Copies of this chain bind each other. A is one copy, B any other.
């Protein structure tokens, strides 16, 4: 099977023009088939503020109301996505930007449990055949964190979940690595020490670290997510700094999550 890298970057890269440019150099020069999923960053919040659109919060989470959905659609699918695509094209990557609505790539439904957070989508299906056909043509897909419900409604959707869903759906066709880029060097034994990276983590070791309280509680949802991807057929999941992309993929940097 061909290899495929599914790489998710978050606000710490998207919001920083210099870091984003360096990351796109690394992404474009990465050999083989690859997909980039980007989060939203702070621009949508800044835009809402500059347009005097109030942000409603429920349980500490921002509500995606109609006005907010308009803004995230503009910022994520327009501004961020198309600037990344143009930047990758200039670096020799044949990038193509998508939302989940385009080609029905990601079908979702509006989340109603445990609370109504507005136009937030949970993914029901990935159009793997469509994504495979683009990949087969040498296209590097750049996915914005917006999906649709098939009834004409766009939905704001978590980029980590999109990355996991896409990696899982394509893992039957490719030997798939899923990279979660975030602000730390990997899973740390000591949250205050960026040099305490756990380089390799299998389910048994994860259980042991968790039981002994060695892993920062805030990492547990991300790691549960990562192990779910592994169980679903993704070959490797790597967590670390997107700035160290080649090292993450070679296993020299970050935390590699493995089956056993």
Contacts and interface: CB of A to CB of B under 8 A. Distances in A.
A101 B85 contact: yes
B83 A102 contact: no
Nearest to A70: B79
Interface in A69-125: 70, 73-79, 81-83, 85-87, 89-91, 94-99, 101-104
B154 A83 contact: yes
B70 A99 contact: no
Contact of A74 (B50, B75, B151): B75
Contacts of A213: none
Contacts of A79: 70, 73-74, 78
A247 interface: no
A89 B104 contact: yes
A58 interface: no
A83 B99 CA distance: 11
A135 to B, nearest CB: 13
B86 A153 contact: yes
A10 to B, nearest CB: 19
A99 B85 contact: yes
A51 interface: yes
B154 A103 contact: no
Given A85-B148, A96-B102, 11 more contacts: A73-B78, A73-B79, A73-B82, A75-B78, A77-B78, A83-B154, A85-B99, A89-B101, A95-B101, A97-B101, A130-B137
